[in-house]
Structure 1
Amino acid sequence: MHHLNYSDIKAAADRITGSVRPVTVAPVDAGAVPVTSRSTLGEGQEQGCDFWLAMEFMQHTGSFKARGAQNFIQSHREAGTLPDAGVTIASGGNAGLACAWAAQQQGVRATVFLPANAPGVKVAKLRSYGADVRLIGSEYAEALAACETFAADSGALTSHAYDHPLIAAGAGTLLEEILPQIPDLDTVVVAVGGGGLLAGVATAAGHHGIRTVAVEPEFCRALNAALEAGRPVDVSLNSVAADSLGARRTSHMALYAAQQDGVHSVIVPDTEIIRARRMLWDHRRLVVEHGAATALAALTSPDLHREDSSARAVGQSYGYRPADGEKICVVLCGANTDPSDLVHDGPDRA
C-alpha cells in the first residue's frame, strides 16, 4: 500500500510546472465573509482570522484534477510505460475531463467510458478534448466494468479518479504554489470526495508544519466515517455536493494522510454548503461547484452543537473554528456547475 510522502509531491511539482496554470490566491476582505473565531479579544471584540481563497477552479478543465492527470501521464511517459493504446478512465466528472485534457496535451489517446444517460454537455466537453467517448449501460458500475475490459483487451493504461499516488501527488502541488503567496500560512482547508486532493495537500502541508482541515458534507462523509472506523468503509451518499464529492469509500492513502498529526476532519450540512456557494457569488461574483463551496462552509457555518446524539456520531465535528489571527487558505477546487441557480432570481436582480 503506497503512502504519499513529500518527495512524491516535489517530483510532481517539478514535472508539471509549466503544463498547468499556477493557482491564483486572493485575500478575502475583512468582514465580507463572516467567520466565527474560537476566541475573542477584549470585551467581546473579535479580531477574526485572515483568510485567502485559492482559485483552483480556474485550472484547465475547471478543477484541480488537471494536476493529477498531467502528473500521471507525464510520469508514465518518462518511465516509458505509456502504451500505444493510451489511457482510459470511467468518469463523466472532473476526473474524466482532466484525463482527456492531459492526454490531448501529451498527444496520447484517451478512451472515456460513461453511462449512456450521461449529460450531453459532458460528452461534448470530453469530445472537445479529443477523447473517444464510449457510452455503456445505465449506471457508473457498468461503464467501469467496460473500461476494465477495454484496458485488459487493449493494454490501455487505466487512470483513477483519486486513488493513485501520482494523481494525489499532482493535487498536492497546489500547496507548493500557495505557500510562496502566503508564507506564514497556518491552515489549509480542502473539500474531500475520494480523498486525492486531501492526500496530496495534507502530505505537503505536514512537511511544512501547516494544519489541514478536511471538509465533507454531513451525509457524504467517506473519510470522516473511515477515521471513526479505523478503516475505509462504505457510506451512503445524500448531498447537494455528491456530484463531485460522492465517493462511497475513501482510499487507504487518504485515510493514512488524515490520520497524521495536524489533519482535522469536519463535516458541514448541505444548507451551509448552499449558503457558502451563494456567498461567493454575492461577494466576488465567483461561480463554483457545491464541492468547492463545501470547503468554505467549514468556516462560515454557525456553531452546530446538536443535542440529538443520534444525529451525531462520536468524533464528528461540525465546521472549523479558527483562532484569532489564524492565517487560512480555502481551496476552491472546481467550477464545473450550472450557474443558473445563482444568477436568476438573485436578491440583487434588477
Structure 2
Amino acid sequence: MISRDAIEAAARRLTGRVRRTPVLTDGPVGYKLELVQHAGSFKTRGMFNKILTAAEDGLPAAGIIAASGGNAGLAAAYAARELGVPAEIFVPVTAPPVKVAKLAKLGARVVQAGVEYAEAFAAASVRGAETGALFCHAYDDADMVAGNGTVALELLEQLPAGFDTVLVAVGGGGLIAGVAAALHGQAKVVAVEPRNARALNAALDAGAAVDVPVSGVAADSLGARRAGAIAVETAVAAGLSSVLVDDQAIVEARRRLWEDYRLVVEHGTACAQAALTSGAYVPAVGERVIVLLCGANTDPADLA
C-alpha cells in the first residue's frame, strides 16, 4: 500500500497544478466532483505527480508516452503541455472520438492501436523502448497512485465532520488504490465495477491479479483486462469490499445524475453511482456515503 507520507508529498507537489474540486451534498449522500478536474478526470493528479517526480532527476528529450482508453491520455497530454514536455499517447481504435479529438487539441501526438487498452499498452511499450520517453502507466505506478490519492485528502479537509464510506469506480485500480491508502483507518472504501469488466473483483476472488474479458458501456474508461498490482495489494491489505453493477444500471445512473443534478459524467464514472441506484450497495441507517464522480469526458448527446 502507498504510504500516507507519499500522498501528502504528492499534495504539496501538486499545489497550484490541479483544481480543488467541490463536494455536493444531498442528505446523507455526498458527491466529490472530480469530473471538473483539469482534462476532465482525476487522472490529472496522478499524471502531474508522475511527471513532476521524474523531472526532479531530469526528463528525457523524447518527453513522455502513455497508453490510455482516453482519460489517462488526456491527463498526460494536459500535464505535458503545462510543463512544456512532448507527449505521445496510444489509444485503442475504440476510444471515444470526443477523447481522441481532445488529445489532439492538447498538442499530443495520438496513435490509435488495437481494439482494447491492453493492445494500445503493448504498442506504447514498444514505442517507449525505441524512443526512451518516460512511460507513464495509466494506473499501476506508485507516483500515479499517490497523486490520485490526493483527492481523498481533499475530502477529509472538506468534510471535517467526517464520512463513513466512499464508493469508487474501478478500472485498473489506480484511483481506488490511492483513495484507500489515504483513508486507511478513517473510512470504508468500496470498489464498484461493471459485471463485464471486473478486473479487481476477479482478483479478489482469485487471490491474485487475473485476466478478465472486457466489454460494455464503460469499457472505454474501466476497460483494464487486469487490475494493477498496487491496487490488488492495497485492496487485500485494506480489506476492501467489491460490488458489481450491470450496464443497464450504469446507463440509468448516468441519466439520473444528469436529470437530478445536471452533472454530465461518462459511463465509467456513473458506475459508482449505480451501486446506490441499483441497490448493489445499500447504506446502513445513518451511514454517510460519498460517491466519487471521477470523470466527464463523454458525449452528452445521449443524455436527453
TM-score (norm 1): 0.82
* Equivalent residue in structure 2 for 1:327, among 263, 288, 291: 288
Alignment correspondent of 2:32:
54
**d(CA) in 2 for partners of 1:203, 1:4:** 6
Higher helix share: 2
- Which consecutive residues of structure 2, in runs of 5 or more, have no partner in the other structure? none
In the alignment, what sits opposite 1:228? 205
Structure 1 counterpart of 2:163: 185
> Aligned runs of 1:133-152 on 2, under 5 Å?
133-136=110-113, 143-152=120-129
* Alpha-carbon displacement from aligned partner over 1:204-244 (angstroms, at most 9, x marks no partner): 1105x211011011221110110010000111123221111
Match of 1:243 among 210, 213, 220: 220
Deviates more, 1:123-132 or 1:11-20: 123-132
Whole-Å Cα distance in 2 between the matches of residues 165 and 212 of structure 1?
A: 19
Residue 91 of structure 1 is aligned with which of 68, 89, 104?
68
Change (3 A) 1:137 1:57: closer
- Quote the offset at 1:101 in angstroms: 0.6
Q: Is the 8 A contact 2:99 2:297 kept in 1?
A: no
Q: Computing the radius of gyration over CA atoms, which structure comes out larger, 1 or 2?
A: 1
Give the CA deviation at 1:328. 1.4
Q: Alpha-carbon deviation of 1:133?
A: 2.3
Paired position in structure 1 for 2:176: 198
SS in structure 2 of the partner of residue 84 of structure 1 = coil
| C-alpha distance in structure 2 between counterparts of 1:97 and 1:174, whole Å | 18
1:17 corresponds to: 15
Counterparts in 2 of 1:27 and 1:118: CA distance versus 1, 3 Å: closer
Contact 1:23 1:178 (C-alpha < 8 Å) held by counterparts: no
Cα displacement string for residues 143-197 of structure 1 (whole angstroms, at most 9, x for unaligned residues): 4344223322221111111111111111110000111221211111100000000
- The CA deviation at 1:264 is 1.3
Partners of 1:71 and 1:162 lie apart in 2 by 12
CA distance in 2, matches of 1:214, 1:118: 24
What is the aligned partner in structure 1 of residue 297 from structure 2? 336
Q: Distance in 1 between matches of 2:22 and 2:251?
A: 24
Distance 1:122-1:289 versus aligned 2 partners, 3 A rule? closer
- SS state of the match for residue 170, structure 1? helix
Are 2:107 and 1:107 equivalent residues in the alignment? no
Aligned to 1:46: none
In structure 2, how many angstroms separate the alpha carbons of the residues matched to 1:246 and 1:142? Answer: 11
Pick closer, same or farther for the CA change 1:247–1:228 going to 2, 3 Å. same
Q: State the match for 2:49 in structure 1.
A: 71
1:214–1:264 Cα contact (<8 Å) kept: yes
Distance 1:147 1:283, change over 3 A: same
In structure 2, how many angstroms separate the alpha carbons of the residues matched to 1:26 and 1:248? 32
Picking from 200, 204, 217, the partner of 2:194 is: 217
Q: 1:83 is aligned with what amino acid?
A: P
Letter of the structure 2 residue corresponding to residue 277 of structure 1: R
Letter in 1 for 2:247: D
Query: Could you tell me which amino acid in structure 2 is paired with residue 16 of structure 1?
Result: L
| Matching residue within 243, 246, 266 for 1:266 | 243
Task: Name the structure 1 match of 2:262.
Answer: 285
* 2:216 is equivalent to residue 255 of structure 1: no
1:252 and 1:142 mapped to 2: Cα distance? 19
Q: Is the 8 A contact 2:180 2:238 kept in 1?
A: no
| 8 A Cα contact 1:210 1:262, kept in partner | no
Report if aligned partners of 1:211, 1:262 keep a CA contact under 8 Å in 2. Answer: no
Runs of 4+ in 1 over 3 A off after TM superposition: 114-123, 134-146
Say which SS state the counterpart of residue 237 (structure 2) adopts: coil
Q: Deviations over 1:248-274 (max 9, x none)?
A: 110121011111345211111222111
Alignment partners' CA distance in 1, 2:25 and 2:288: 10
